[in-house]
Amino acid sequence: LLPQTGHLRRTKTEVKGMAGNPDEIAKDQLISIIERVERLEEEKKGISDDIKEVYAEAKANGYDTKVLRKVVQIRKQDAAERQEHEAILDLYLSAIGLA
Amino acid sequence: LLPQTGHLRRTKTEVKGMAGNPDEIAKDQLISIIERVERLEEEKKGISDDIKEVYAEAKANGYDTKVLRKVVQIRKQDAAERQEHEAILDLYLSAIGLA
Amino acid sequence: LLPQTGHLRRTKTEVKGMAGNPDEIAKDQLISIIERVERLEEEKKGISDDIKEVYAEAKANGYDTKVLRKVVQIRKQDAAERQEHEAILDLYLSAIGLA
Amino acid sequence: LLPQTGHLRRTKTEVKGMAGNPDEIAKDQLISIIERVERLEEEKKGISDDIKEVYAEAKANGYDTKVLRKVVQIRKQDAAERQEHEAILDLYLSAIGLA
DNA sequence: GGAACATCACCGTGTC
DNA sequence: GACACGGTGATGTTCC
């Protein structure tokens, strides 16, 4: 679990030092990583729930959520395509020395 | 696409009125729904990127991201399981008439 | 739809040969694939219906199908978990260089 | 877990009878239900795996599995529609007394 | 190839 | 008692 430093780590019981020793630091770092990820995933779940709410509200107003989802999807694709087209254009411009 | 109001809707060209007519309202509402969803999905993507960053940073510090992801997953499962066990208990109690 | 062989395929009308030409073979192969999948999906649906029947019969005998489904689910999870635990152990052992 | 007979069941320790008493029967019945479901779900999983295999084999032969899946889906929809159409036709025929 | 995500179908429930 | 709804579990797709 600990970062791989290229050698087998000393076991915890070998460590007699004060707080601040490498193992402690690594442990804190590990906990920090885990908790940051967990915090972000909670936020992400919150957003997902918000999206569901929007669709639920739309449905309550008589919209067909399946169609709505399709619309959002298509617009996303279009946006991606536009970006793609610009990238190609840039490529062409570069190719003829007009970057 | 428009909310189903139970009758055939007037076509747009029949409408001569000022802003504020039902079609306009419906259109605005539709746009509002789409944009709210799109905004939220952007936020969601941002969070996903943040999570990737955390893992990337961890990897740079020598951690095995595969293991890290596993740890996060296990902790999530454990939390879910605790909840699940309570739900099962309730279910069983109900089943034997001790709700 | 046809398998990509890396070159543009001859159109059907160009082919004058007897049965056994590549296009025929490809066509037969395609039909075979589709029909095998369809046959299997029918079987699968049959099994799903059988499962529904078992639950329906159980319900008729006074069992709470919700609880029954839960029991089946739990047993499946338990089996999966046992497998999972071994996988985690392997992963951890690898992580500390004891693969 | 046991079938609901409308009253709280005697606890097991109250039962002094020989094999063949109602509790034993209920228990056997319960086990039978669970095992039949589990057996069927295994079969179902087997079929699913078979389907995956067919697609894998098709892929190995150069087919685009995404397209293949689409084809299967469309054919299924068509079949369902045909059935639907027949049902509507029957309905109309009944309506005019030509059932 | 496996995990995360979105979609889809089913089941149980409330309503008329 | 059928139909619509929400929640839940399975399936298919995408990303890594």
Per-residue pLDDT of chain C (99 residues; tens, 9 = 90+): 556 554 445 555 555 556 668 888 888 889 999 999 999 999 999 999 999 999 999 999 999 999 999 999 989 888 888 888 888 888 888 888 887
Which residue in C94, A21, C98, A36 sits closest to B64, CA to CA? C94
Residue D58: what pLDDT?
Answer: 92
Cα dist. D24→A36, C49, D10, D21 in Å?
53, 29, 12, 5
Q: Which residues of A touch C95 (CB under 8 A)?
A: 1, 4
Partner-chain contact D1 B97, CB within 8 Å: no
Q: Which residues of B touch A57 (CB under 8 A)?
A: 33
Assess contact for A51 and B85: CB atoms under 8 A: no
Please report the residues numbered 10 through 39 in chain A whose beta carbons come closer than 8 angstroms to any beta carbon of chain B: 29-30, 33-34, 36-38
Of C76-85, D10-19, D31-40, D45-54, which range is least confident?
D10-19
For residue B83 the two structure tokens come to: 């909840």
Average pLDDT estimate for A1-20: 54
How many interchain CB pairs under 8 A, C with D? 86
SS (H, E, C) chain C: CCCCCCCCCCCHHHCCCCCCCHHHHHHHHHHHHHHHHHHHHHHHHHHHHHHHHHHHHHHHCCCCHHHHHHHHHHHHHHHHHHHHHHHHHHHHHHHCCCC
The residue with tokens 């990897």 is B59
Taking the mean position of all CA atoms in its chain, how far away is CA A60?
A: 31
Q: Å from A1 to nearest chain C CA?
A: 6
Assess contact for B61 and A29: CB atoms under 8 A: yes
Neighbouring subunits of B (3+ Cβ pairs under 8 A): A, C, D
Kindly tell me if the per-residue pLDDT of B69 is higher than 50: yes
Average pLDDT estimate for A46-59: 94
Kindly tell me if the per-residue pLDDT of A7 is higher than 60: no
For residue C69 the two structure tokens come to: 């489904």
d(CA D38, CA C73): 10
pTM of this structure: 0.80
Kindly tell me if the per-residue pLDDT of B17 is higher than 60: no
Average pLDDT estimate for B7-21: 53
Assess contact for D43 and C36: CB atoms under 8 A: no
Residue C16: what pLDDT?
Answer: 57
Partner-chain contact A40 B55, CB within 8 Å: no
Average pLDDT estimate for B19-38: 85
Residue D21: what pLDDT?
Answer: 82
Q: Å from A96 to nearest chain C CA?
A: 30
Whether any strand F atom is under 7 angstroms from the Cβ of C73: the reply reads yes
Residues 6+ apart with CB under 8 A from D48: C44
Kindly tell me if the per-residue pLDDT of B67 is higher than 70: yes
Assess contact for A61 and B29: CB atoms under 8 A: yes
Q: Which nucleotide is nearest to D45 (CA to C1')?
A: F10
d(CA C62, CA D5): 7
Please report the residues numbered 40 through 99 in chain D whose beta carbons come closer than 8 angstroms to any beta carbon of chain C: 40-41, 43-44, 47-48, 50-51, 54-55, 57-58, 61-64, 67-68, 71-72, 75-76
Instruction: Assign residue B27 a region (left: φ > 0; alpha: ψ between -120 and 50; beta: otherwise).
Output: alpha
pLDDT band at D88 (very low <50, low <70, confident <90, very high): confident
Kindly tell me if the per-residue pLDDT of B50 is higher than 60: yes
Residues 67-86, chain C, CB closer than 7 Å to nucleic strand E: 69
pLDDT band at A56 (very low <50, low <70, confident <90, very high): very high
Residue B42: what pLDDT?
Answer: 95
Residue A48: what pLDDT?
Answer: 95
Sign of the torsion formed by the C-alpha atoms of B54, B59, B61 and B64: positive
Residues 6+ apart with CB under 8 A from D88: none
